[in-house]
Amino acid sequence: MYRQEQRITFNDSSLKPSFDYLRNPSEETLKKATSTPGNKLALKHHRWSSMNSKISGTKFWKKQFARISQTKSFEDNIQAVGKYLIEENQKTWLTEVLRYLPEGHTFNTTVYLIAGYDNIVFKEDIALDLSFTQFHVDQRESLYYLIHELAHAGYLRYHNMPELRRMRTIGDLIEVTRFLTHLEGMGVVSAFRKRTNDNGFLDRDYQVLMSASERSKKVKEYFGILSKLERNPDAELKNQHVKTFERMSGKKTRLWYITGCYIAQQIENKCDLETLKQLVIKGADEFFKVYSEIEDLA
């Protein structure tokens, strides 16, 4: 049923050209690697997230590839993770994604398998970085991240990605922060049930979420930052304000991932799943509004 109704296709065409460059770095092999659709998607995401639209594909990927230590086992591990993903029964993971999306949602998404960037979504397509260390420690992590990124692709059917370069005021920053909190929260919560059933808690976000004390600290820190920003929403945006992104999404903090998931869980538990699914359409403002109403009743 799922294979007929959902258009989710895997594309691993970036892997061989990337391996070719890593084995034999040259202008020719770099050009071939950067011209693949998966690596092009990663570049588009980097330009968006870094607010640097001028960086070239060759400059970007040369820097990314320089971080990789090329070995035969590295390639073998990547190929093994890709094989695992493609061969895994689609129904086992698609059910989890659709659980948190509006009824009748259909995907038209390509999953690009790449090496050397990150696990990302851009519009309705995604890229999974098969060089991600967690995938090699436990291949199931690649499946959980697939669920996470597909949840993003689903969310972005109903909303456009914010234009980060156009932020001018603290109010703009608050709006983007709320958007990304909702987006990331739905990604994290979408994989939660399968991780729980599989006892797949290698990822640090879920370890924190399973600890009431650690989770509470992160949620408190998140809302503390947001409250400070909300005191002066009309003020001009400055560099120190933009650094909020680092605190919210940094590897050591992960604030909007953890807080977004917590808010989603609270809404699902204290309202219902259908309310949470409809908020995917209604957006971040309603997501925070419903959570605030829950908190007021507590």
* Beta-ladder partners of 111: 10, 126
Count of other CB atoms within 10 angstroms of residue 227: 9
User: From CA 19, how far away is CA 115, in angstroms rounded?
Assistant: 9
Q: Which domain holds residue 34?
A: 2-155
CB 14 within 8 A of CB 38: yes
One domain, residues 11 and 124: yes
Look-up of token digits 């909300």? 230
One domain, residues 41 and 183: no
Residue 73 maps to a domain: yes
16-41 in b/e form (b: 16+ CB < 10 A) is: ebbbbbbeeeeeebbebbbebebbbb
Q: Enumerate helices (H) and strands (E) in the chain, giving the number of each.
A: 18, 4
User: From CA 189, how far away is CA 151, in angstroms rounded?
Assistant: 9
Task: Report residue 174 CA to chain centroid gap.
Answer: 19
One domain, residues 123 and 236: no
One domain, residues 33 and 177: no
User: Per-residue pLDDT for the chain (298 aa), expressed as one digit of tens each?
Assistant: 334 479 999 999 999 999 999 999 999 999 999 999 999 999 999 999 998 889 999 999 999 999 998 888 999 999 999 999 999 999 889 999 999 999 999 999 999 999 999 999 999 999 999 999 999 999 999 999 999 999 999 999 999 999 999 999 999 999 999 999 999 999 999 999 999 999 999 999 999 999 999 999 999 999 999 999 999 999 999 888 888 888 899 888 999 999 999 999 999 999 999 999 999 999 999 999 999 999 887 6
One domain, residues 40 and 59: yes
Report which DSSP code applies to 24.
Answer: S
One domain, residues 145 and 181: no
The count of structural domains within the chain is 2
Question: Could you say which of 155, 176, 195 is where a domain stops?
Answer: 155
Residue 77 maps to a domain: yes
Task: Report residue 112 CA to chain centroid gap.
Answer: 14
One domain, residues 241 and 218: yes
**How confident is the model at residue 298, as a pLDDT?**
63
One domain, residues 121 and 199: no
Residue 212 maps to a domain: yes
The answer to whether the predicted template modeling score (pTM) of the entire model surpasses 0.85 is: yes
One domain, residues 85 and 108: yes
User: From CA 253, how far away is CA 221, in angstroms rounded?
Assistant: 9
Residue 180 maps to a domain: yes
List the one residue out of 64, 77, 146 whose CA is nearest residue 111.
Answer: 146
Question: Could you say which of 155, 174, 205 is where a domain stops?
Answer: 155
One domain, residues 123 and 203: no
One domain, residues 135 and 266: no
Residue 245 maps to a domain: yes
CB 81 within 8 A of CB 139: yes
One domain, residues 141 and 273: no
CB 80 within 8 A of CB 139: yes
From residue 275, how far is each of 24, 100, 212, 269 by CA, in Å? Answer: 53, 10, 24, 10
Residue 160 maps to a domain: no
List the one residue out of 199, 187, 117 whose CA is nearest residue 146.
Answer: 187
User: From CA 222, how far away is CA 10, in angstroms rounded?
Assistant: 36
Count of other CB atoms within 10 angstroms of residue 163: 11
User: From CA 129, how far away is CA 126, in angstroms rounded?
Assistant: 10
CB 117 within 8 A of CB 64: yes
Question: Could you say which of 133, 155, 177 is where a domain stops?
Answer: 155
CB 185 within 8 A of CB 255: no
